[in-house]
Structure 1
Amino acid sequence: MWFRTRTVPPGPVAAGDVLAEAEALRVRLGGREVLAGVDVAARAGEVLALVGPNGAGKSTLLGALAADLPAAAGVVRVHGRPVSGWSAHELALRRAVLPQSASLSFPFPVEEVVRMGRAPWAGRPEEAEDDAAVASAMAATEVTAFADRPFSALSGGERARVALARVLAQRARLLLLDEPTAALDLRHQELVLRVCRDRARAGDAVVVVLHDLGLAAAYAHRVVILRAGRAVADGAPAEVFTDRLLSDVYQQPVEVFPHPRTGGVVVAPVRGS
């Protein structure tokens, strides 16, 4: 099996290390150029949010960083090496990916679904951490209470949290999350972004696709704004979230102002006359 092959184990990671990067990245899908020369870097110890309107290329960029989508031009590196230089197993030890939707053909119990995240460590000394990793991931995402329920019997929001728990149980240092809050209620949206912050605080690099600019402003250390396959801004939310830029990118009047109590960035659409 693929996880039994000889692999290079992950090395140590220090704060600020670039764990994923794209340089002059171009990606074509269905004959259309979806990404047109994008540069981006994800560093250990930070949450990087990818934001932008529908069709901007956010999920495509995440897929390219995960080595799930091929580059038509440019280069993608994971842990400093071009993705073509890693085997599938070596990538699985270094990056964990949460797709937009999670589905299973068989009614696996929730705990078994989360335990699937431990597959890359099978046959390695880290396999001894399986039980602790699964329990910790389930607690962090608040799914322990329905550990024995079939995944197929869960609500959309519950499935989303179980899928995130599987990613966390993998204990890769690079987390690539595609719209992890899309199916969640307000409380669990906040929970998921707090988990992202916690993982960054522990030294991981977290890349998350978000549509909610308020969540990005509150939890991301850095944001990349995409429009029509290009990165039009890259920096701290307080620096790049401006009325003019967001209104232009989203083709919707937007105002950005400091929260009256915390001073944090608030983003709101302009409504009414």
Structure 2
Amino acid sequence: MLGKLLARRAREVPAPPVPGQAYAEADGVTVRYGPATVLDGVSLTAPAGEVLALVGPNGAGKSTLLAALAGDLALAAGGVRVAGRPSTAWSAAELARRRAVLPQSAALAFPFAVEEVVRMGRAPWAGTPAEARDDQAVAAAMRATDVTRFAGRPFPALSGGERARVALARVLAQETALLLLDEPTAALDLRHQELVLRICRERAAAGTAVVIVLHDLGLAAAYADRVAVLHAGRRAAHGPPADVLTADLLSRVYRQPVEVLAHPRTGTPLVVPLRDVGGG
């Protein structure tokens, strides 16, 4: 009887999130790798319907925090909740139907065709009613990321930027209420950077909680509802971009003097490094 109950639960389709609900939560998360403390008591929430950008210098703990929110790391202290429950309370299949993760790099050992790679995102829904959406979800994800014309090409034959967009399409095809994206714009040209961030905004408007690691502070300011600045494994600031992206904070955290201007049309913060470029 218990086995049947667990099997039925494993095939359940999650209820859609409530707008504004804290869909992913980190509570005093500490992560250590050997003697090194990579995250030190970090707390934040990712509400449904919002884009949360994680920014900070190299080594600040951004990718580690994203992995912790995904439930993929053992914590030295603190806890993570996804969809109102501790991440450790979900089975791997249940967690995969609630959050999708885009790592920094996408590598495949075999030359799968692009459409096959994107279809891998539908694996968590096998045996559930949502399986009927597989073809529709795959086609929509490829269309959104501008990779439909590559459908039959081997994944390794693509450029770095093309592979990055296919990897994002796989994550989008998974159709989860939480998207965790680690530097999805790093290998992309200007047009496709904007495309990816527009997708994030569209998913948030549809109720998804989006957490995205970014190095481009301009993109974070323009597209995120909230920004969390990490520094040396701790949360240095968290809030709306206009409140968080200040010259004093960023100059201290990045150890690079900056000034923050207002975009002449939108008013969003523009972070400009102060440079000594004079000659003579």
TM-score (norm 2): 0.95
Q: Could you tell me how far 1:12 is from its partner in structure 2?
A: 2.9
Decide whether the 8 Å contact of 2:259 with 2:274 is kept in 1. Answer: yes
Which amino acid in structure 2 is aligned with residue 214 of structure 1?
A: G
Decide whether the 8 Å contact of 2:16 with 2:177 is kept in 1. Answer: no
> Do residues 122 (structure 1) and 123 (structure 2) align?
no
In structure 2, the residue matched to 1:50 is: 54
Alpha-carbon distance between aligned partners in 1 of 2:75 and 2:46, rounded to the nearest angstrom: 18
In structure 2, the residue matched to 1:9 is: 13
In structure 1, the residue matched to 2:197 is: 193
> Do residues 166 (structure 1) and 176 (structure 2) align?
no
Q: How many residues are paired up?
A: 270
Q: Could you tell me how far 1:13 is from its partner in structure 2?
A: 1.2
5 Å matches for 1:1-273?
Answer: 5-6=7-8, 7=10, 8-272=12-276
Decide whether the 8 Å contact of 2:13 with 2:130 is kept in 1. Answer: no
Alpha-carbon distance between aligned partners in 1 of 2:197 and 2:249, rounded to the nearest angstrom: 24
Decide whether the 8 Å contact of 2:59 with 2:232 is kept in 1. Answer: yes
SS of 1:75's partner is: strand
Decide whether the 8 Å contact of 2:13 with 2:129 is kept in 1. Answer: no
TM-score (norm 1): 0.97
Percent of pairs identical after alignment?
70
Q: Could you tell me how far 1:113 is from its partner in structure 2?
A: 0.2
Deviations 1:141-197 (A, max 9, x none): 000011000001001100000000000000000000000001111111110000000
Which amino acid in structure 2 is aligned with residue 136 of structure 1?
A: A
Alpha-carbon distance between aligned partners in 1 of 2:35 and 2:157, rounded to the nearest angstrom: 38
Alpha-carbon distance between aligned partners in 1 of 2:14 and 2:74, rounded to the nearest angstrom: 23
Q: Could you tell me how far 1:84 is from its partner in structure 2?
A: 1.0
Which amino acid in structure 2 is aligned with residue 130 of structure 1?
A: D
Which amino acid in structure 1 is aligned with residue 186 of structure 2?
A: A
Q: Could you tell me how far 1:5 is from its partner in structure 2?
A: 4.4
Structure 1 residue runs of 4 or more that deviate by more than 6 Å after TM superposition = none
SS of 1:136's partner is: helix
Alpha-carbon distance between aligned partners in 1 of 2:7 and 2:57, rounded to the nearest angstrom: 41
Which amino acid in structure 1 is aligned with residue 105 of structure 2?
A: S
- Aligned-pair RMSD on alpha carbons? 1.1
Which amino acid in structure 2 is aligned with residue 70 of structure 1?
A: A
Alpha-carbon distance between aligned partners in 1 of 2:273 and 2:143, rounded to the nearest angstrom: 35
Alpha-carbon distance between aligned partners in 1 of 2:68 and 2:90, rounded to the nearest angstrom: 14
Q: Which has the larger radius of gyration?
A: 2
Q: Could you tell me how far 1:267 is from its partner in structure 2?
A: 1.0
Which amino acid in structure 2 is aligned with residue 69 of structure 1?
A: L
Which amino acid in structure 2 is aligned with residue 103 of structure 1?
A: A
Q: Could you tell me how far 1:266 is from its partner in structure 2?
A: 0.9
**Farther-moved stretch of structure 1 (71-80 vs 24-33):** 24-33
SS of 1:226's partner is: strand
Unaligned runs of 5+ in 1: none
Decide whether the 8 Å contact of 2:101 with 2:171 is kept in 1. Answer: yes
Q: Could you tell me how far 1:263 is from its partner in structure 2?
A: 1.7
Q: Could you tell me how far 1:261 is from its partner in structure 2?
A: 2.4
